[in-house]
Amino acid sequence: MSALGQDDLSDLAAARAVLESPGLAIRIADRVGRPIEGLVRRLPDGARRTIESGTRRALEAALDVALRTLDGRRRAAPSDWLHLGVVVASGAAGGAVGLAGLALELPFSLTVMLRSIADHARAQGEDLGDVAARLECLAVFAYGSRSATDDAADSAYLAVRAALARTVGEAAAWVAERGVAGAAGEGAAPALVSLVSRIAQRLGVAVTDKAAAQLVPLVGAAGGAAVNAVFVQHYQDTARAHFTVRRLERAHGPEAVRRAYQQLGEGPAPARGPDG
| Residue range 98-131, pLDDT digits in tens | 566 667 778 888 888 888 898 899 999 999 888 8
Q: CA 163, 166, 172, 174 torsion: positive or negative?
A: negative
| Residue range 139-183, pLDDT digits in tens | 999 997 665 555 544 568 999 999 999 999 999 998 888 776 666
From the number of C-beta atoms within 10 Å of its C-beta (0-12, 13-18, 19+), residue 175 rates as buried
Nearest CA among 190, 142, 176 for reference residue 162: 142
Name 225's Cβ contacts closer than 8 Å, sequence gap at least 6.
88, 89, 91, 92, 95
Domain ranges of the chain: 6-264
User: pTM for the complete prediction?
Assistant: 0.82
Q: How many CB atoms lie within 10 A of CB 95?
A: 25
| Residue range 74-107, pLDDT digits in tens | 555 665 655 455 555 555 445 445 566 667 778 8
Q: How many CB atoms lie within 10 A of CB 165?
A: 11
Three-class SS of 138-172: HHHHHHCCCCCCCCCCCCHHHHHHHHHHHHHHHHH
Name 96's Cβ contacts closer than 8 Å, sequence gap at least 6.
220, 221, 224
